Structure 1
């Protein structure tokens, strides 16, 4: 009994880490019942673990070690059921075994491949650089929610856009990293040095505003791409798009981005309800 309680506490700790990054998803959990769909929630928390390993660890060798562990775990989970609390919940569901083994490994391999990436040349290159990891996560998620035949194209694009928005939000903290949230062409156009990224100024504001404009344009384009969104992905995308819109119109866009996290109210509830209704309609 004690062991079961400990396992439940460990599982909840990973779910809490996901919700700490995306607190608006607490509203979505009202419409995605954890008793009926525990794998849906565990998969979202697993995605957060992989993203955190890919972007949140500053020492590449530590990130590689963690990702190698996940590669071994996901490779063996098909037959063993897994050792990690999240993997155990996911592979207790038959749909996990309906997904090809290489699809489970793809996000981990993509995460390792992008660890040494530097700052992208321009916005289009940023999207291309984010595509392998976030596309692999989107393909896995879409297959889980909707089956292997569903297109992950739209989910892949909005996943990349949300990543770039979150990276922009951390502009000051990550100004000394090899991979900057603003592309090189944008830094050059506005004459920005790394030191200037840490302090408010007209040039920094103009560069951030231009980045937000590109993100919003790409978000509008994403609506024309094929494929459904999971409830969690749809809510994340709507939240990110609204945050980008609000920040683009602010006098200090970075402050607006940072203070705009998170906002949950009636609008979030309606968005989550609409996303859940679209999911159920798609499955019917």
Structure 2
């Protein structure tokens, strides 16, 4: 297999985030000097995280991720070959920008986390799933803080915690969809603690079993507390960093609103993916922008 065949196809740098998505409304809150780089970072994040789910052969998936790892290292040395990395490292995002690129370990952490995932069993324990989420979405969210200009250790840690909470809620919202595809994003030991069998997620009955509501409450509480603690930490940051982090705060309130929908729907998440309407996302972003939510 040639290196050229492993390289992702250029589908255009402006297609993400999709109109009406949470990232779409958050991106419009990013200052113009940072916006192009943030859009490209989110685009790259999407490219990396989709590989384990879209590529069935673990060897091919690892090869594609390894290609990206090599590309990022070459790009950091001024030899980017993909339009996305050219844009981020030496193109329009780099010319006179105020934002700075996330450090190389934040890129490589995401790649390594995805490589580990394609070779692991899809039935993870709590420690393994926590590590994966921290390596991937946690690193991606910390990179967002760097691009936005929130560079202090406290800001970066808060962003990382937000990312973990986002991912937990994202996994809940598509719990049934992913489970039917073979990805059970509930740790095995947590299923056992709540006496819920894996087949109740992978092949759900029309009505969930009696123990499912308590499992849902437990998973919801974990995600909610992670995000709320991180939001509280952001409120303690200096004013400039609090302002810089507003797009991430907006994303977090959107996720908390989605979590309420999940809790109210109970077992609907076993049969369909739940999403907030664009209007609700817009309204949350507006409230964060004018200071009604923080």
Structure 1 residue 44 and structure 2 residue 42: aligned?
Answer: yes
Question: Residues 210, 236 of structure 1: CA spacing in aligned structure 2 closer, same or farther, 3 A cutoff?
Answer: same
**1:243 corresponding residue in structure 2:** 258
Contact 1:209–1:253 (Cα < 8 Å) also in 2: no
Structure 1 residue 25 and structure 2 residue 23: aligned?
Answer: yes
Structure 1 residue 160 and structure 2 residue 164: aligned?
Answer: yes
Structure 1 residue 110 and structure 2 residue 113: aligned?
Answer: yes
**Structure 2 portions without partners, runs of 5+:** 1-8
- Output the TM-score relative to the length of structure 1: 0.76
Q: Distance in 2 between matches of 1:99 and 1:120?
A: 29
Structure 1 residue 173 and structure 2 residue 177: aligned?
Answer: yes
- Output the TM-score relative to the length of structure 2: 0.73
RMSD, aligned α-carbons: 3.4
Deviation at 1:153, TM superposition (A): 1.0
Deviates more, 1:233-242 or 1:221-230: 221-230
**1:201 corresponding residue in structure 2:** 208
Structure 1 residue 263 and structure 2 residue 277: aligned?
Answer: yes
Q: Secondary structure at the match of 2:24?
A: helix
Please give the residue correspondences for 1:20-169 in structure 2 after superposition, counting only pairs within 5 Å.
23-32=21-30, 37-80=35-78, 82-91=80-89, 92=91, 93-94=93-94, 99-118=102-121, 119-122=123-126, 126-146=129-149, 148-149=151-152, 151-169=155-173
Question: Residues 85, 67 of structure 1: CA spacing in aligned structure 2 closer, same or farther, 3 A cutoff?
Answer: same
Contact 2:110–2:140 (Cα < 8 Å) also in 1: yes
Number of aligned residue pairs: give it. 265
Deviates more, 1:86-95 or 1:249-258: 249-258
Q: Distance in 1 between matches of 2:51 and 2:171?
A: 14
Question: Residues 168, 245 of structure 1: CA spacing in aligned structure 2 closer, same or farther, 3 A cutoff?
Answer: same
Q: Distance in 1 between matches of 2:69 and 2:137?
A: 16
Question: Residues 277, 107 of structure 1: CA spacing in aligned structure 2 closer, same or farther, 3 A cutoff?
Answer: farther
Q: Distance in 1 between matches of 2:166 and 2:172?
A: 10
